[in-house]
Amino acid sequence: VDKTSYFTCRWYFRPEDTVISRAKFVNDHTHDPKRVFLSEEKNDNPLDCIISKVKIIHVDPNMDPAAKAKLVARTDLYYDMSYTVAYSTFANIPSDTTENSGISTDADSENGAPVKTASLLDLYSGCGGMSTGLCLGSALAGLKLETKWAVDLNSFACKSLKYNHPKTEVRNEKAEDFLALLKEWAILCDKYVHSNDSDVAEPVEEEEDDEPLGKDEFVVEKLLEICYGGTGRKNGIHFKVQWKGYGPEEDTWEPIENLSDCPLKIKEFVQEGYRRNILPQPGQVDVICGGPPCQGISGFNRFRNRDNPLEDEKNQQMVTYMDIVSYLQPKFVLMENVVDILKFADGYLGRYALSRLVSLNYQARLGMMVAGCYGLPQFRMRVFLWGALPTMVLPKYPLPTHDVVVRGGAPNAFSQSIVAYDETQRPTLKKALLLGDAISDLPKASAFFPCSFLPLLHLFLRPLLCR
């Protein structure tokens, strides 16, 4: 009989021991070398494998940074979150008390409290399908969520989104230009808004100037829009100018340095824009959603960089997305992407996204969901990454409602991130839906098929045939 002494231990994980793995070595962020994550993993080990004693303390993730630094300085290691292999989850340590998530629901209105409308920023918005779905789903759960801002590079998609959501501030520009604009906008607001001790003052009217204009001189009637750089323009703040005595067709974009003689017009625009909340500032966004394009990992790309995918400019939007999250600090983050971010280069980009969120002190959870499991006549697996501030409740994934015809597979390293029921559960699922279920109710074709139906039929079938 083996008389070796054993002990049962509960494990802590360093960042590099988790799913983050080698992504922690990316230069744009770091992890505290003293930070570890508590897990539920337990096993028996020989007593003689103990090397030394270390002091590990629990730190509240919402603690003041200065107080936290003093506390951590007196210990070997600290933990402020737990780590679970299932769904690669980094989450708050469960407590006996349940705190408010900070987002109001219909239950608040029933108790007499006003229901706050949560704000959403849709990045890489396209026509707004993801944000629209989130808002509709949130309404079913009793949460008022509204898309306040949207950003996309495609002008046609922006026009479509604006048509369907006229109250949304839609910006047709690069995401990195949008981030640069947010930082410049903060400077303008500090200069023209926050520098006043009182509330935002009413715009100061410029005095009438009756002096005759010289040749090639024009008068600024009003500033209409603001942007950072853009096509054919150098980097920097530009204003769209309405000229006095000229129609809209003569409006032009001018760099801010060309408007040095119009400080009152700039002040008027900034104060009005601040009141209308045309651009979000840190702490003003409740939810950021979006799917940053990563063409650099596409299987059709024969020149993919497997050693360091982030060196490929086609994958830089993943970094930009996380930079915007880092700047705005929203309460919740939801990122959607193709499964290749977990397949290509050992899931480098997926691990990077998780690593960035955790380094920003966000709770995080990564799952793969199949559209067919929720009543769509196609398989279509996608990755969804949730992030939530420590003051919030980290959302869970909805479990499948339908059976599905399996197509393809998930990466083995992330097999526990597939959203599904436990093996011990035997749920009753609705039958899998196929293409026939989607188009079987279309009018039957015959030799005398009405020509009026043909354009409609083509419009319906074309997206399905092009997939």
Q: Which residues are catalytic?
A: 294
Sequence letter at residue 136: L
What SS3 state is found at 345? helix
Task: Return the number of other C-beta atoms located less than 10 Å from residue 209's C-beta.
Answer: 8
- Write the CA distances from 43 to 8, 11, 14, 88, 138, integer angstroms: 6, 8, 17, 20, 41
Buried b or exposed e, range 295-332, using 16+ CB within 10 angstroms: ebbeeeeeebbeeebbebebbbbbbbbbbbbbbbbbbb
Which tokens go with 60? Answer: 């509240």
Task: Return the number of other C-beta atoms located less than 10 Å from residue 168's C-beta.
Answer: 20
Are residues 104 and 116 in contact, defined by beta-carbon separation less than 8 angstroms?
yes
Alpha helices, H only, 141-262 = 155-164, 175-189
What SS3 state is found at 363? strand
* Cα dihedral 397, 399, 402, 407 sign: positive
What strands, in cross-sheet order, belong to the sheet with 237-243? 220-228, 237-243, 252-255
Rg (alpha carbons) of the chain, rounded to whole number: 27
Are residues 189 and 281 in contact, defined by beta-carbon separation less than 8 angstroms?
yes
